[in-house]
Amino acid sequence: MAPHGVVVEMRSLNNCSRGSGIRVTKNPISGSYADAGGEQLWIDVLQATLKHGLAPVSWTDYLYLTIGGTLSNAGISGQTFRHGPQISNVYEMDVLTGKGELVTCSKDTNSELFFAVLGGLGQFGIIIRARIALKPAPKRVKWIQMLYDDFSTFSRDQEHLISINGLDYLEGSLLMQNSSPNNWRSSFSPSEYPRISSLISKNGIIYCLEVVKYYDELTSHTVDEELQELLKGLNFLPGFVFTKDVSLVDFLNRVHSEELNLRAKGLWDVPHPWLNLFVPGSRISDFNSGVFRDILPKINQTTGTFLVYPVIRNKWDDRTSAVIPDEDIFYTVGLLHSSGADDWEPLENQNKEILKFCDKAGIKIKRYLSRYTTKKDWMNHFGPKWRTFEDRKAQFDPKMILSPGQQIFNSV
């Protein structure tokens, strides 16, 4: 992370009287917001804002991450298609730059620093405080999963759903022979596992489309009818629709219960050779054929979750440092492997094979949570944004002291 340097443990600010904490401001006219310290976890923001009947609109699947951490990357989940990533839902920040200056910035004030830091991989400053957009919080969610055996039908239905208004969350995932239906993503009843496992065995891969509709007391009597209308005309497998009705907190914090389960078994603190990609929508079918159908099934040692769902480019602000494909619709692909302590290497090699396949096939992916080791690779990653990224580094961290472990500016 910082060879021969220091790591700033932001969470220690929780014990400091000068820490930012979380402060909620309700303003129905200009917009409610939470001022949260960069060290705060998203779960803490959720709990603090719900006391006021409010909540952020854009999340990550896992809430035990810091504000500063996700805003330095993007912050994505099933709400991204509707509200954009977390970096599109920030009004203002206090940032400690590489020059040692504490600067308040927003779209209108010190905007160059504001957009540099959002998605900036920690290269320009430390996020001390972020002002996060809030909306009235729903009480409950209808959580629905539908199964498909054909990828083109699955992706067509996904793209249809993100093009219409009404849903609050959409993700997709793969169910494979070496993965269990019983994971943190599922709303399946245990009694359905044999039927689903049989379907997976027959097809090799099953695609799961997952959607959510929020509701509260005022809409509880109409939510089922609205959902029926929204899902009308979809081509999922008949008889393979599964519905759960849970509280907002239980849904947003769904990964944590699985975390506790895995920790109890000693399976949480293990190697995670993940690969996260943004894939252009025009090539997602080729990616399915080459990666999901061909490369992934070659290794059956793994457990983990494989995500694939579309997002919309115009929900992202191109002035930020985040890098995405240059198409109106692109897919988030998360290959979230877990392995044993000694068998991670085949999965790491598989990730390299996937990247090589994309390069050879001309699929212009962008890596999310990128990891490169040469300046040339970073320049290729940022593409047209590289010059701006380089200029911002010179402006806000001229001595290049921040986040050297990523080897963006100190490699060859």
Pairing label, strands 205-215, 169-176: antiparallel
| 163: number of Cβ within 10 Å | 11
Rounded-to-integer distance, Cα 181 and Cα 183, Å: 6
Domains of the chain: 10-136 (3.30.465.10), 140-367 (3.40.462.10)
Which among 291, 306, 376 has a CA at the least distance from the CA of 338? 306
**Three-state SS across 140-202?**
EEEEEEEEECCHHHHHHHHHHHHHCCCCCEEEEEEEECCCCCCCCCCCCCHHHHHHHHHHHHH
Instruction: Report whether 54 contacts 67 (CB < 8 A).
Output: no
Which residues face 305 on adjacent strands?
A: 336
What pLDDT is stored for residue 186 in this prediction?
63
What pLDDT is stored for residue 341 in this prediction?
86
pTM of this structure? 0.96
Render pLDDT for 360-377 as a digit per residue (tens, 0 to 9).
999 999 999 988 999 999
**Local structure of residue 382 (DSSP, 8 states):** H
Which residues face 349 on adjacent strands?
A: none
In 220-302, the DSSP E strands lie at: 241-247, 275-280
Render pLDDT for 60-81 as a digit per residue (tens, 0 to 9).
999 999 999 999 999 999 999 9
What pLDDT is stored for residue 412 in this prediction?
64
345: left (phi over 0), alpha (psi -120 to 50) or beta: alpha
What pLDDT is stored for residue 301 in this prediction?
65
- The low-confidence residues of the chain, meaning pLDDT below 70, are 16-20, 179-187, 301-302, 412
Which among 357, 317, 345, 284 has a CA at the least distance from the CA of 91? 317
**Local structure of residue 236 (DSSP, 8 states):** P
What pLDDT is stored for residue 299 in this prediction?
85
**Is residue 222 classed as helix, strand or coil in its secondary structure?**
coil
